[in-house]
A and B are shown apart, each in its own frame.
Chain A
Amino acid sequence: MHELALAESIVDAVRTELERYPGAIPIRVGVRIGVMAAVDLDALRFGFDIAVRESGFPRLRLDARIIPGQVTCLACGVETPAESTVFDCPRCGSAQTMLSGSDELDLDALEVERDDDGTTHV
């Protein structure tokens, strides 16, 4: 259960980013999680609710999504998106497949509210 630590890292990253946008109010943070990242979404959401309570960002919501990996079949070469970590080739049935791009744990969006003139708003 390291999801609480990850949730705190997400909130910390938002806080650091907002130093560049004084007065902006964060309302949504997007996170992309690969199927191999060893992160449980429900546990992350639970941890985020706790982390955000202490954060001073009462309106900040977590928008976390699991994203598929890319699987290459070593037998026939076909490439397929993989939603799971164990994957047989859908074309030839081989279990000899190589997964890549599946361990992401990335922030990819931050939605904020700002004053129309871009100046500070508290």
Chain B
Amino acid sequence: MTTEQLTFKQKVLAENQRIAASLRGRYQTAGLLCVNLISSPGSGKTALLEKTLEALGQESPRLRVAVLTGDIQTDNDARRLARYGYPVKQITTGGTCHLDGTMIERHLADWDLNDLDILFIENIGNLVCPSSYDLGEHSKIVLLSVTEGDDKPLKYPSIFFKSDLFLLTKIDLLQYVPFDADEVERNARRIHEGMEIIRSSATAPGGLDQWLTWLHAKLAAVRAGEPALATKA
């Protein structure tokens, strides 16, 4: 009987990476933009999506959009989002604190990705765990609202480090809360130098204009062949 060191070099989440790579390939083939929205509960992911779907519905030509929305329990969000006439599916994890590649694969099974331009994934409300799981997306987008704390990027660095875009939400409430929007931006960029940041409001007129511009630019880049890079994971 001897003790032996085996060569054993792989990612802990190698199986999830494999599925994410397959999803990435499918998005690429379909010319589809996939974004993964991540925030703590109550930061405004669903409100952002509602107003985004509403705005996209008024554009001509009308983009073909679908939403996968994750929660631990209830299909409340899917019901809210289905009102805008786009395909929506609820992923109910029953306790799991993040979405993984298998869940995405399973819930995409009866959609033809060639019929879609943008796939929004609304992750479970959680600022930590979803950052570890690659879903094949082109961009992770982190949302933080002004009713949270302006030091949150320092406290929850991983998701700010791994996201392409930071959407500061509910800026219409800035006048009522002791939140320094410049400070939160400085903090985010201490974690992720050069990070793109957009200040947004789902209720103020024009509050999502910059976000919609970003989305269209990203879609154009994907259609022009910008690869969906394996996200830092």
Interface residues of A in 1-49 (CB under 8 A from B): 1-2, 5-6, 9-10, 12-13, 17, 21, 24, 27, 29-31, 36-39
* Residue interface mask A77-107, B partner, CB < 8 A = 1: 0000000011000000001111100110111
Distance of A61 Cα from B173 Cα, bound (Å) = 50
Determine whether B132 belongs to the interface, using a CB cutoff of 8 Å to chain A. Answer: yes
Residue ID in chain A nearest B9 by CB atoms: A108
Q: Are A114 and B132 in contact (CB under 8 A)?
A: no
Q: Are A112 and B6 in contact (CB under 8 A)?
A: yes
Question: B13 is contacted by which of A9, A85, A97, A110 (Cβ under 8 Å)?
Answer: A9
Q: Are B131 and A113 in contact (CB under 8 A)?
A: no
Q: Are A17 and B6 in contact (CB under 8 A)?
A: yes
Question: A2 is contacted by which of B6, B8, B15, B97 (Cβ under 8 Å)?
Answer: B97
B172 to chain A, nearest CB (A): 30
Q: Which of B64-72, B155-163, B176-184 is found at the contact surface with chain A?
A: B155-163
A29 to chain B, nearest CB (A): 8
Residues of A within 8 A of B157 (CB): 36, 85-86
B65 to chain A, nearest CB (A): 29
Q: Name 17 extra pairs, CB < 8 A, besides A1-B97, A1-B129.
A: A2-B129, A6-B132, A12-B15, A13-B14, A21-B6, A24-B4, A85-B154, A85-B158, A95-B190, A103-B158, A103-B161, A107-B10, A108-B8, A109-B5, A110-B8, A111-B4, A121-B1
Nearest 10 interchain pairs by C-beta: A38-B158, A2-B129, A110-B8, A85-B157, A110-B6, A105-B12, A98-B193, A103-B232, A38-B131, A36-B161
